[in-house]
Copies of this chain bind each other. A is one copy, B any other.
Amino acid sequence: MAEKKSRTMKKDCQVAFSPFEVSVEVPSGSNLLDAVKAANLPLKATCGGKGTCGDCVVRILSGSYHSKPSAALPDHLASQGYALSCQTTVKGNISVELPQFRELAIQSIVDSKFFREEKDKISGTYEMDPAVKTISLHVSAPTLDDNFSDLKRIERQLQKKLAAHIVSCEYPVLKKLARAVRKDKGKINIVISLSEGRAVIIDAVPPSEHKRLFGLACDIGTTTVALHLVDLQSGKIAATATSLNQQITCGEDIISRIVYSQKPGRLKKLQELIILTINNLIEKAVTTAQISTDEIYFGSFSGNTTMTHLFLSLDPRYIREEPYVPTLNQVPAVSARDLGLKMHPEARIHCSPAVGSYVGGDITAGLLCTPMLKDSKGISLFIDAGTNGELVVGNKDWLVTCACSAGPAFEGSGIKCGMPASEGAIEKIKMGKSGEIEYRAINGSKPRGVCGSGLVDLLAELFSNAYVDRSGKLKAGKGHKRIVETENGKGFLIVEEKDCFWGKDLVITENDIKNLIRTKGAVYSACSLLLKNVGLELDTIDSVYIAGGFGQHLNIENAVRIGLLPDIGRDKFHYIGNSSLLGAYLILISERNKELADATADNMTYIELNTEPDYMNEYTGALFLPHTNINLFPSVKKIFRA
């Protein structure tokens, strides 16, 4: 009887979630929102499952389910398969899409305006000289008088071509050497990896078995992973792919992932998830480029220190505990086989070198995309404002860096109307004189939310048009129809329900505004403290390079207006986009860039803000628009005086 009972209790419906590679089994009749929670997926449900907020909307792609109709879900969406997960009952195996993660804007270095226009000014070189290359040899046939071994005859030729490098050979290549060197009568293509004056043979291919040489440049972001498949002969980008970091199911920021990793088996799971994410992107890219994964011999990966640790399955625990010491900053040679990446098994994996626990390889890689490692004159500031904000100041001769916990507000997290830079995200906002709002959503489609650059515009416009005061409070007294009451308190109506994809008002609440202010305050105060530490004034900064996940269209004027960026000449600012990805690309194509990144990481001075007594004062001062001390923002002061 007990057995029979347990059979009836069996979990018998599989719920698969895209774009995540996650599925859960639940008993038939389960609530879909509960299934989402069981799968540990990020989905808002502000009303707590009452069916009133409409946040938990998903799209059911296939399968058997029952959804109660809800006022919070317009008919046109319901007819397209959208449903509120809190109002949905699972009846069989179903396939569910979390739409806000569906169409991430492809992150490509070539889309970057900076890349197009300032290509020649950056520190990294574009001259092709990758650390992994193919050397074509013609090995003379052995004779009784010249009967050196196959390996020796190949080494002899290689050493001539490479000017006396020490040559070694990976074990799996040894096994194919005898055949490979005879197949085309001594003509053979040797794939080598160069490092520290040593050449390691990682493949040997007869020319008739045509194999090309490709590499990967990959930015491992906490939220998003972006990848370029690169022809290592020409440097051309053969394919590009972007997706969510599947680790997001284990926590949205690095701290929650570190916490998650501390239970048995979970560090391994986090590694599996990032490898899965990358392997899926590789699959997409090789399909586009029509190559085999076996032709990818080199991977250059950039990520923050925690992402790099999880990528390698290194315990990240001590990153979070004082004195914040990672296992490593520079990663020794690792092969694709070690990590289970879908590349040639002996492919070399390089991770951009980190400076410390909170200034990672993404920053070192990013610096390659600025002139900062090349120019001795002038002083530059590099700002990467993501979930974690990182700042670097200096030039070729010295560099000082610090990090701050900015929070993911500008990446669309923790803000009710926020979303990543994916389809339907408002990326630009302008407010007319009579309060009318102009906006542009990604792909020109009906707006679904606001991404980073849109939020900067929105906050700046609200402030400029006096909808919010300097502390971020909405001025209720203004009586404008756009000031509305929501169940989360007072808010500002950005898009009316009829124009919104979700068929409901798109509102930014006062709490959201406070959140944005905290984020910009964290970045600005870190910047201010960093400069103080090196005894510099703001006006000594000649250039500011801004990287990060704002989207393609950060409005610098607005970023200054809200006090995110310092009030200096606008021509000094350069938005460089995903510099972690571009840096990974630069490291991929040139050994010189690789060495420059290593030297940069080694020579940077790291300042730990967590233990700076002044930080709290600076931060509190920055929690105003644009700042408690308006004199720090003369251009803003002028406007308000006018």
Contacts and interface: CB of A to CB of B under 8 A. Distances in A.
A178 B322 contact: no
A143 B324 CA distance: 9
Contacts of A170: 332
A144 B608 CA distance: 8
Contact of A171 (B150, B175, B334): B334
A152 B331 CA distance: 10
A185 interface: no
A247 B150 CA distance: 25
A151 B325 CA distance: 10
A179 interface: yes
A198 to B, nearest CB: 8
Nearest to A317: B178
A315 interface: yes
A170 B333 CA distance: 8
Contacts of A171: 312, 332, 334-335, 338
Contacts of A166: 196
A326 interface: yes
Contacts of A327: 149-151, 174, 177-178
Nearest to A335: B171
B314 A148 contact: no
A204 to B, nearest CB: 11
The oligomer's copy count stands at: 2
Given A166-B196, A608-B144, A175 B328 contact: no
B329 A152 contact: yes
Nearest to A267: B175
Given A179-B315, A315-B179, A325-B142, A332 B174 contact: yes
Contacts of A338: 171
Contacts of A356: 147, 149
Interface in A263-320: 312-315, 317-318
A611 interface: yes
Interface in A195-253: 196, 198
Nearest to A319: B178
B313 A175 contact: yes
A259 to B, nearest CB: 16
Contacts of A357: 147
A327 B144 CA distance: 15
A333 B147 contact: no
A630 interface: no
Interface in A126-177: 142-144, 147-152, 166, 168-171, 174-175, 177
Instruction: Name the interface size band of chain A.
Output: 35 or more
Contacts of A330: 151-152
A323 interface: yes
A401 to B, nearest CB: 13
Given A169-B332, A329-B152, A332-B168, A144 B315 contact: no
A606 to B, nearest CB: 8
Contacts of A322: 144
Given A144-B608, A149-B325, A149-B327, A175 B332 contact: no
A314 B175 contact: yes
Contact of A325 (B148, B317, B329, B333): B148
B328 A149 contact: yes
Nearest to A333: B168
A323 B175 contact: no
A333 B173 CA distance: 12
A67 B325 CA distance: 74
Contacts of A325: 142, 147-150
A144 B323 contact: yes
Nearest to A322: B144
A147 B152 CA distance: 45
Interface in A333-367: 333-335, 338, 356-357
Interface in A571-611: 606, 608, 611
A594 to B, nearest CB: 16
A174 B329 CA distance: 12
B150 A326 contact: yes
A177 B333 CA distance: 16
A267 to B, nearest CB: 9
B144 A174 contact: no
Contact of A312 (B142, B174, B331, B334): B174
Nearest to A331: B174
Contacts of A149: 325-329, 356
B143 A323 contact: yes
Contacts of A148: 325
Contacts of A177: 314, 327-328
Contacts of A606: 147
Contact of A150 (B151, B198, B328): B328
20 contacts: A147-B324, A149-B326, A149-B356, A150-B325, A150-B327, A150-B328, A151-B328, A151-B330, A152-B329, A170-B332, A171-B335, A174-B314, A174-B331, A175-B312, A175-B313, A177-B328, A178-B315, A178-B318, A179-B315, A182-B318
Interface of A: 142-144, 147-152, 166, 168-171, 174-175, 177-179, 182, 196, 198, 312-315, 317-318, 322-335, 338, 356-357, 606, 608, 611
Given A150-B318, A174-B332, 8 more contacts: A147-B325, A147-B606, A152-B330, A168-B332, A171-B332, A174-B327, A174-B331, A175-B315
6 A-B pairs with least C-beta separation = A151-B328, A142-B325, A144-B323, A178-B315, A171-B338, A149-B328
